[in-house]
């Protein structure tokens, strides 16, 4: 049996995992916001319409999700062979450097086709970093957790998602307010240089994250793997040969969660501020929509601790299963709440807040159940690959598919798409084992 982490070490782990994932998600969401409000105009200006430019921007947005499984394999290899701590440091650096460089990139008007090519390359690097980040932070928390409180401990890296979202979108709101930006203004200070500031400021946040992460110790569970000489030479090969079933289960469990989040954030932002005259959006001013998002993100923060507490009390499957049923019902409400003929800011606020609460409820226990599905000597790789392959199936293509569906059939078709994907996840949740009582040191 591995030694239990002390209360002081658990406190440091909570801080390290929360700060690290906050930085990583800040970087990711800064790009997601710019993919809607900035990049279609500065990096894809030759598109034949605003919708085509948006789809091209979403295509580079999706590149990171293609890179994430590769990142989970690369960083998972070192996480399962070298250790959780060192691997997390390099994942943070990979993500942070790529984000900083985005803030320095020339635009299409300056270097032509090289601009979107360099943007795509940096987006790919962002995906590599995040591919190794989440699973490492989740393992850091679950492998040091007190008995019976593993989902609660795993809550802390999950809170990095809403914290990062709040920081990124809050920063953009401050900038557009300060610089007086309005939708369609392509010549003002925000579009000329202001959009770069959130990306450049990530360097400061990365420095803080590195300082915190370098102060923590390796997890007792990984020390137990080393002490028993149970490292494997190729974690990815071991996962596919001995843990293929939980790999499939974990991937399908996560896919509905990813689809929900990137519909109610990235796609919904594009729909909200999109042109009402062209029939592809609601025509809400960008600043007003950012304010709505920043208020509703507190629903995300609320759902995570509630779900994690319930998951420790009643188990992972009941919480995830009931939440999935609620998401299916929510998907069927899109046509009513997002009707371009009858919507109000109140109905949009209800729609977004409900989506964020449900996102917190489904996302919160994921950092417990995915690591619990895998043995300790391949846990970094297995949980990371499941998490990030589902990002391709649920997140990379979700804004792209939703934009195309909305343009052809309206928002109700987007809701049906969410409901169908969630049914798949619900089936996987029923299929997966209950892991609340699993010992994390099992090899």
Q: Among residues 6, 53, 31, which one has the least CA distance to residue 105?
A: 31
**Contact status, residue 87 vs residue 380, Cβ threshold 8 Å:** yes
Q: What is the pLDDT along the chain (443 residues), one digit of tens a residue?
A: 556 767 778 888 888 888 888 887 888 788 877 877 788 888 877 655 666 666 666 667 677 778 888 999 999 999 898 888 889 889 889 988 999 999 999 998 898 888 888 888 898 898 888 888 888 888 888 988 888 899 999 999 999 989 998 898 888 888 988 988 776 677 888 888 999 999 999 898 888 888 888 888 888 888 888 888 778 888 999 999 999 999 999 999 999 999 998 899 888 888 888 877 666 788 888 888 888 988 999 999 999 999 999 999 999 999 999 999 999 999 999 989 998 888 888 999 999 999 999 999 999 999 999 999 999 889 999 999 999 899 888 877 888 899 889 988 999 999 999 999 999 999 999 999 999 988 887 76
How far does Cα 235 stand from its chain's mean position?
Answer: 24
Expressed as residue numbers, the domain containing 134 is 7-431
pLDDT of 155: 93
Token pair 């593993």 is at which residue? Answer: 150
Can you read off the two tokens belonging to residue 135?
């699973």
**Contact status, residue 56 vs residue 40, Cβ threshold 8 Å:** yes
| Rounded Cα–Cα distance for residues 290 and 284 (Å) | 10
pLDDT of 443: 61
The CATH number of the domain holding residue 94 is 1.20.1250.20
Please indicate, yes or no, if residue 332 is contained in any of the structural domains: yes
| Rounded Cα–Cα distance for residues 240 and 246 (Å) | 10
Please indicate, yes or no, if residue 288 is contained in any of the structural domains: yes
Please indicate, yes or no, if residue 443 is contained in any of the structural domains: no
Can you read off the two tokens belonging to residue 136?
């490492």
Q: Among residues 300, 365, 442, 432, which one has the least CA distance to residue 141?
A: 365
Cα 304 to Cα 32, 45, 156, 163, 345: the distances in Å are 22, 39, 9, 12, 25
Can you read off the two tokens belonging to residue 137?
């932070």
Please indicate, yes or no, if residue 161 is contained in any of the structural domains: yes
**Contact status, residue 427 vs residue 252, Cβ threshold 8 Å:** yes
Please indicate, yes or no, if residue 439 is contained in any of the structural domains: no
Please indicate, yes or no, if residue 321 is contained in any of the structural domains: yes
How big is the chain by its Cα radius of gyration, in Å? 21
Please indicate, yes or no, if residue 258 is contained in any of the structural domains: yes
**Contact status, residue 395 vs residue 65, Cβ threshold 8 Å:** yes
DSSP 73-97: HHHHHHHHHT-HHHHHHHHHHHHHH
How far does Cα 102 stand from its chain's mean position?
Answer: 19
The number of folded domains in the chain is: 1
pLDDT of 55: 65
Please indicate, yes or no, if residue 442 is contained in any of the structural domains: no
DSSP 287-315: HHHHHHHHHHHHHHHHHHHHHHHHHHHH-
């Amino acid at each position: 049996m591995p030694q239990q982490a002390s209360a002081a070490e658990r406190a440091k782990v909570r801080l390290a995992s929360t700060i690290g994932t906050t930085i990583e998600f800040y970087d990711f969401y800064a790009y997601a916001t710019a993919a809607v409000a900035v990049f279609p105009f500065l990096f894809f200006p030759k598109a034949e319409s605003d919708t085509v430019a948006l789809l091209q921007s979403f295509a580079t947005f999706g590149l990171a999700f293609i890179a994430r499984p590769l990142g989970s394999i690369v960083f998972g290899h070192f996480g399962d062979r070298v250790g959780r701590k060192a691997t997390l440091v390099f994942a943070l650096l990979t993500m942070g450097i790529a984000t900083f460089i985005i803030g320095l990139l020339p635009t299409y008007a300056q270097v032509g086709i090289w601009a979107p090519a360099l943007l795509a390359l940096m987006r790919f690097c962002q995906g590599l970093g995040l591919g190794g980040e989440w699973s490492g932070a989740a393992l850091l928390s679950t492998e040091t957790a007190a008995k019976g409180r593993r989902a609660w401990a795993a809550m802390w890296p999950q809170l990095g998602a809403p914290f990062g979202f709040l920081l990124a979108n809050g920063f953009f709101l401050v900038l557009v307010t300060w610089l007086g930006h309005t939708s369609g203004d392509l010549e003002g200070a925000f579009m000329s240089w202001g959009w770069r500031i959130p990306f450049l400021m990530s360097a400061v946040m990365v420095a803080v994250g590195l300082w915190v992460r370098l102060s923590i110790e390796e997890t007792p569970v990984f020390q137990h793997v080393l002490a028993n000489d149970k490292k494997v030479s190729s974690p990815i090969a071991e996962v596919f040969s001995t843990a293929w079933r939980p790999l499939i289960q974990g991937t399908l469990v996560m896919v509905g969660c990813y689809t929900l989040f990137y519909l109610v954030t990235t796609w919904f932002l594009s729909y909200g501020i999109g042109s009402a005259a062209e029939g592809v959006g609601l025509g809400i001013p960008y600043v007003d929509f950012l304010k709505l998002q920043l208020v509703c993100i507190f629903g995300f923060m609320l759902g995570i601790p509630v779900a994690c507490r319930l998951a420790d009390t009643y188990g992972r499957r009941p919480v995830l299963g009931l939440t999935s049923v609620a998401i299916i019902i929510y998907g069927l409400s899109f046509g009513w709440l997002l009707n371009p003929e009858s919507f109000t800011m109140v109905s949009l606020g209800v729609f977004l807040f409900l989506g964020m609460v449900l996102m917190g409820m489904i996302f919160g226990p994921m950092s417990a159940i995915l690591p619990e599905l895998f043995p300790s000597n391949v846990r970094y790789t297995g949980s990371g690959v499941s998490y990030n392959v589902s990002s391709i199936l649920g997140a990379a293509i979700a804004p792209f598919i939703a934009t195309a569906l909305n343009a052809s059939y309206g928002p109700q078709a987007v809701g049906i798409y969410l409901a169908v994907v969630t049914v798949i996840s619900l089936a996987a949740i029923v299929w997966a084992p209950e892991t609340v009582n699993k010992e994390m040191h099992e090899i």
